[in-house]
Structure 1
Amino acid sequence: MIELFLNQPNKMEIRVSESISIHDPNEVKIKLLYGGICGSDLLVYQGKLGHAAYPLRPGHELLGHVIEAGEQSPYRVGTRVVVQPNTYCGECRLCLSGKTNICKEKKSLGVNMNGGFSEEFVISSKYVLPVPDDLSDRRAVLIEPFAVIVHAFKKVHIGKDTKVAIIGCGNEGMLAAALANHLDANVTAMDINMEKFDLIRSLGSFRVIHPDEVGDEKYEVVVEAAGSRKAIELAAQITAPGGDLVMIGMIPEATLPITHLVRSEITLHGSIIYNVPEDFEKAMEYLRRSDFHIDPVVSTIIPFWEFNQAYELALSRNVGKVVMSFGGRNNEASV
C-alpha cells in the first residue's frame, strides 16, 4: 500500500509499505476516502508540537469505508465510517465518568502513534462510527473537527441573539462561527488575516473584523480559537460580566486580568477535543441539516500524491480546510 510518512519535521515522503491485515477480532481495515489537514497536523509537520513522536505516518481526520472486518466487529464490509483518533483506556476514573477526552492514557493518531494518511489502515472498531448515507463525503470529513466545536458549545448557552465573539478563524474558528450563526446568535468573528475575510463572510451574514477594531465591546460568550497569547488576553477583556470564555486554542501561558474575571464573575471553560460517541453523533446531526451552511469551510480537495501542494496551501493560512483525496467514491470535485 502507499502511505505518507513523516521521517522528521519538514521531511515527508510517499512510500510503499506492506499491506496489513487485521489480527484482532474487534479490528476493521479501512480504505481511506478523504483525509483532512488539521492545525495540529501542521504543527507536527513543522516540529512545533512537543509531544509528537517521529518517525510516524500523519493524519487523524479520516473518512473511509470498511474493506475487512473482524468477527467481533459491529461493522460490515462496505460500511462508511469516520475515525475517532484519540485512544482511551476505558477503565480510569475519568473514562468511567464519560470524560474519555482527558484520559491520562490517551494517545493520538498522527501525533504520538501512526495516523491514517495511507490507502488502507487497521484500527479497533472501538474507534470508528458509521456515517449516515445522506451525508456527503465532503461534509462527512468535517465530523471529527466539528465535534470539537460541538463539545465546546455544550459548555455554554448560545441561542437567538446571544452576543458571541469568535477569536481566530482557522478551521475550528470557522466551524464555531458557522454553528453560532446557525443557532441564530449575534456573531462577531475576528481574525488578523484580512485576506480570509471574504471566506469567513461566506459562512453567514455576521460581522467579521480585525481584533484591533473591537473597541470597548463586550460579548456574552467568547470562543478563543486562535491559540495565541494576544488572543486569549483579548478574549478575557471582551467577555461581558457574567459571561463565558471558552478556550479551544492552546498557548503555554498568558497574563489574565484576575481581578476583572473575579469581580465580573466570568466563567472560564477549557475544552479539549470531544467525548464519544455523543459529540460525533451531534456533529453528524447538524451536518445532515440542509439549512446548516458549512460547505465553504472545505476550500479544496487535492489528490494525496500532491501532498506538498496540500500542506503548503494549508500552511498559508489563507484558505479553509484542505482535504486530501485517497480515492473518494463520490467523485466530488475540488473547488
Structure 2
Amino acid sequence: MLELQVKNPLEIEMRQVDPLPAPKHDEIKVKTIYGGICGSDLGVFKGKLPHATYPLRPGHELVGTVIEAGEAAKYDVGTRVVVLPNTFCGECDLCLKGRTNICRHKKSLGVNSHGGFSEEFVISSKFVMPVPDELPSEKAVLIEPLAVVVSAFKKVTITKDTTVAIIGSGNEGMLAALLAHYLGAHVTAIDINPIKLEIIRRIGDIRTVSPEEVSNETFDVVIEAAGVKSAVEQGIQLVSPGGEMVLIGLAPEATLPIVQLVRSEITLYGSIIYKFPDDYLQTLEYLNDPTLNIEPIVSEIFPFADYQQAYEAALSGDFGKILLRF
C-alpha cells in the first residue's frame, strides 16, 4: 500500500507499506477516493502545529468507499463515506453536554493520529457518514472544511438583509464567503491576495476589497478567517454597534479593545470545528443543493503520485482548494 509520511517538519515522502490488517469490531477499511490538502496539513508539514506528532501520515479531508467491515460496523462494503477526522470520546463532561467539538480527549487525524493520505485507511465506523448517491465525490470531500463554516454561522444571525465581512481568503474564508452569499447576505471579502479574491468573485456577486478599502465601514457580522493579529484587530473595528463577530482563525498575539466591545455591545464568538453529526448533516444538505456554487473553490486536482506538486501549489498561497485523487 502507498501512503504519504511526514517524517519530520519539511520532510515528506511517499512510501510502500504493508497492507493494513482487517478492521476490528466496529471498524471499516476505506479505499480513498479524494483527499483535500488543508491548512492543518501544511502546518504539520512546516512544523507549525505544536501538538503534531512525527512521523505522521497526514490527511483528514477524506471521501472513500468501504472495502471491508468489522462484525459490528455501521456500514456495509460498497458504502461511500466521508470522514469525521476530529474524534471524540462521548463520555467526558463536555461530550455529555453535546460539546463534542471540544472533547477533553479529542484526537485529530493527520495531526496527532495517522490520517488518510494513503490508498486505504482504517477508522471506527462511528466517525464516518454515508454520502448520498447523487453527490459527486469531488464535492463530498469538502464536507469537513465547509462544516467548520456551517458551525460558525450557527452562532450568528445571517439573513438576506445582513451585511457580512469575511476577513481572509484561505480555504475557510472562501467557504465562508460562499455560504454567506448562498444564504443571501450582502458579502464583502477582504484580503491582501488579489488571486484569492479573484477566485471568490467566481462564486457570484461578492464584493472583494483590500483591508485598506474598508477602514471606514461597519458590518452586521464579521467572520475572521485569516488567523493573524491584524485581521482580528481590524475585524473588531468593522463590527457595527450591536453586531457580531466570529473568530475561526487562530491568532494568539491579537489584543482586544475591551472598552469598544463593552460600549458597542459587540458579541464575540470563538468557533472551533463542528458538532457531529448535526453540522455534517446540515453541510451535506448544502452540498447537495446544485445552486451552491462551490466548484470555483477547487483550483486543482492532482493524482496521488503528484503529491509534491500538490503540496507546492497549496504552499504557494495562490490557489483555492487543492485535492489529491487516489
Q: Distance in 2 between matches of 1:292 and 1:199?
A: 15
Q: Distance in 1 between matches of 2:195 and 2:176?
A: 19
Which residue does the alignment assign to 1:124?
124
Secondary structure at 1:306 match in 2: helix
CA RMSD of aligned residues (A): 0.8
Separation in structure 2 between the aligned mates of residue 86 and residue 253 of structure 1, nearest angstrom: 25
Residue 238 of structure 2 corresponds to which residue in structure 1?
A: 238
Alignment pair present for 1:41 and 2:58 = no
The equivalent of 1:13 in structure 2 is 13
Unaligned 5+ runs, structure 2: none
Shift of 1:255: 1.6
Please tell me whether residue 31 in structure 1 is matched to residue 61 in structure 2. no
Alignment match, 1:187: 187
CA distance in 2, matches of 1:62, 1:236: 34
Amino acid at match of 2:185: A
Local SS of the residue matching 2:181: helix
Tell me if structure 1 keeps the 8 A contact 2:87–2:108: yes
Aligned to 2:279: 279
Distance (whole Å) between structure 2 residues aligned to residue 92 and residue 265 of structure 1: 34
Q: CA deviation at 1:138?
A: 1.3
Q: How many Å separate the matches in 2 of 1:121 and 1:206?
A: 39
In 2, Cα distance between equivalents of 1:290 and 1:52: 37
> In the alignment, is the contact (CA less than 8 A) between 2:86 and 2:106 conserved in 1?
yes
Counterpart CA distance in 1 for 2:112 and 2:11 is: 17
Q: 2 CA distance for matches of 1:197 and 1:238?
A: 19
CA distance in 1, matches of 2:289, 2:146: 14
SS in 2 for 1:253: coil
TM-score normalized with structure 1 length: 0.96
Q: Is the 8 A contact 2:169 2:197 kept in 1?
A: no
Question: What residue in structure 1 maps to residue 110 of structure 2?
Answer: 110
User: Gaps spanning 5+ residues in structure 1: where?
Assistant: 327-335
TM-aligned CA deviation for residue 164 of structure 1: 0.2
How many angstroms apart in 1 are the aligned matches of 2:12 and 2:252? Answer: 27
CA distance in 1, matches of 2:195, 2:64: 33
1:118 alignment partner AA: S
Match of 2:83 in 1: 83
SS in 1 for 2:107: coil
Q: 1:71 matched to which residue of 2? A: 71
Show the 5 A alignment for 1:253-268: 253-268=253-268
State the one-letter code of the partner of 2:272.
I
What is aligned with 2:303? 303
Shift of 1:23: 4.3
Q: Is the 8 A contact 2:170 2:196 kept in 1?
A: no
Distance 2:45 2:134 in 1: 34
User: What SS does the corresponding residue of 2:86 show, helix, strand or coil?
Assistant: coil
Q: Secondary structure at the match of 2:245?
A: strand
Any idea what the Cα deviations from partners look like across 1:108-132, whole Å, max 9, x if unmatched?
Answer: 0000111110000111001110000
User: Quick one: distance in 2 between partners of 1:312 and 1:207?
Assistant: 29
Aligned residue pairs total 326
**2:290 alignment partner in structure 1:** 290
